[in-house]
Amino acid sequence: MNGKMELLFWQLVYFFIQQRYRIVQLADDAREIWLESLENKHVPIVRLVRYDIDWSQWLKRDMEYAWRIAEQIQKRRIRKFNKMVNIYISTYPPVDDWEFLIEKPLPLLQQRNAALQTFLIHSGNIHLSLQQLADMFQAPVTFPAIADVRDPFFEAERLKRAVFREEREQQERERKLFKYGKPVFTYIFIALQVIVFLLMEWSGGSTNPDVLIKYGAKFNPLIQAGEWWRFFTPIFLHIGFLHLLMNTFALYYLGMTVERLYGSWRFFFIYFTAGFFGTLGSFLFTASLSAGASGAIFGLFGALLYFGTVYRHLFLQTIGTNIIGLIVINLVFGMIVPGIDNAGHIGGLIGGYLAAGIVHLPNHFDWKKQMRSLLISVGIAAFALYIGL
């Protein structure tokens, strides 16, 4: 085994880790590594293979294998891309003709203009290949001169350990993201809406319009008369046991997730802001009496979508697909089934997203983005109140 090429392999792996790629698949012998980018939209997938290639036939078969995997990855991805890169590190090139195999990228059938680009780096073309990679990734691919390294195997092993250490640290940071806060207000809000429901039932029934109005349901004439608190009080009112049951389950599962991600006080702000925007949307577009936590709960969906804009890769790998699917299903359901206040749902979704943008994620600061979210929120609210009142 050639120590210099072994070192070059791990230098390249470490380079991509530094470019915010992460390992998504690793062969048992660590000779084949697939990496996925957190940020690079055009070349999101890179495959690195350390193998001393003797014949071009092996190269052809392995390129076909990589192409099939690339096709499968492309089908699963929501975002489109331009290239996937397949890099071989071999001490020497194949003994027979091989250049024609990598001369042109292999087109990927699932998307127009997408292709699998292959590089074969051997001891005779290292400088040229690294320059080509630098041009493609628009970043300098430069390493300490391998010839100056006394023990390339030792240095390769050191880099290998550094790569796996950074991967473990990244996984630990991501794990901690979902355990930042402890659910406190989720339980308090659930208890409040159950207590209020029991009080309404005791007062004459949660489906009784007079009882609903008495306890603070959204009722446009009274809001227009100055009872502004009705933008908030409907969050804790429910019309019938089934309505309470569905929203309680939704608040439990979504609330636990969002409060752990954002922390309790950020969650409190997001929930009430989303509830306000949900009631505001209902106030503008529906004249009927309404109540329920649905707008605030849709705001929790919005907060999770905002999380997805900050950690797109992690979001799509974990909860993203389910969250987007649930939002679409609920909105479509609201359009088909009569009596569902979809305006309130959409208002809450927008409010939750903007509120999450205002408070941002814990230990994250982006004052420009936060101020922009605040100004947009105030602008929408002021304009809607001006129209409605």
Give the pLDDT of residue 145: 63
Question: Is the per-residue pLDDT at 387 higher than 90?
Answer: no
Handedness of CA 321, 323, 326, 331 (dihedral sign): negative
Report CA 164 to chain centroid distance, whole Å.
Answer: 23
Question: What is the value of pTM for the model shown?
Answer: 0.76
C-alpha–C-alpha distance, residues 325 and 373, integer Å: 25
Cβ atoms within 10 A of the Cβ of 373, count? 20
Give the pLDDT of residue 250: 92
Give the neighbor-by-neighbor strand order of the sheet with 45-50: 21-26, 32-37, 45-50, 83-89, 115-121, 106-107
Averaged pLDDT for residues 364-368? 86
Question: Is the per-residue pLDDT at 378 higher than 70?
Answer: yes
216: left (phi over 0), alpha (psi -120 to 50) or beta: left
Question: Is the per-residue pLDDT at 270 higher than 70?
Answer: yes
Give the pLDDT of residue 309: 87
Averaged pLDDT for residues 338-342? 78
Residues 81-131 pLDDT 10s: 678 899 999 999 999 999 999 999 888 876 677 889 999 999 889 989 999
Give the pLDDT of residue 183: 93
Residues 220-244 pLDDT 10s: 999 999 999 999 999 999 999 999 9
CA atoms within 13 A on the CB side of 156: 18
- Write down the residue that tokens 């306000």 correspond to: 276
Active site residues: 294, 345
Q: Which two tokens stand for residue 302?
A: 């919005």
Q: What is the mean pLDDT of the chain?
A: 89
C-alpha–C-alpha distance, residues 229 and 85, integer Å: 57
Question: Is the per-residue pLDDT at 57 higher than 90?
Answer: yes
Give the pLDDT of residue 371: 94
User: What letter would DSSP give residue 235?
Assistant: G
Question: Is the per-residue pLDDT at 339 higher than 80?
Answer: no
3-state secondary structure (DSSP) of residue 320: helix
Question: Is the per-residue pLDDT at 322 higher than 90?
Answer: no
Sequence-ordered list of residues with C-beta below 8 angstroms from that of 259, at least 6 positions apart, any chain: 181, 182, 183, 184, 185, 186, 267
> Contact at 8 Å (CB) between 1 and 89?
no
pLDDT-based confidence at residue 313 (cuts at 50, 70, 90): confident
Residues 153-190 pLDDT 10s: 888 889 899 988 988 888 888 888 888 889 999 999 99
pLDDT-based confidence at residue 13 (cuts at 50, 70, 90): very high
Outline where DSSP puts E strands in the chain. Answer: 21-26, 32-37, 45-50, 83-89, 106-107, 115-121
Give the pLDDT of residue 148: 61
Residues 280-306 pLDDT 10s: 999 999 888 999 999 999 999 999 999
Give the pLDDT of residue 138: 84
Give the pLDDT of residue 146: 58
Residues 17-36 pLDDT 10s: 988 888 888 888 889 999 98
C-alpha–C-alpha distance, residues 267 and 199, integer Å: 26
Question: Is the per-residue pLDDT at 2 higher than 80?
Answer: no
Range of lowest pLDDT (22-36, 49-63, 73-87): 73-87
Range of lowest pLDDT (265-269, 316-320, 327-331): 316-320
- Write down the residue that tokens 């050639």 correspond to: 2
Which residues lie across from 26 on neighbouring strands?
33
> Contact at 8 Å (CB) between 167 and 20?
no
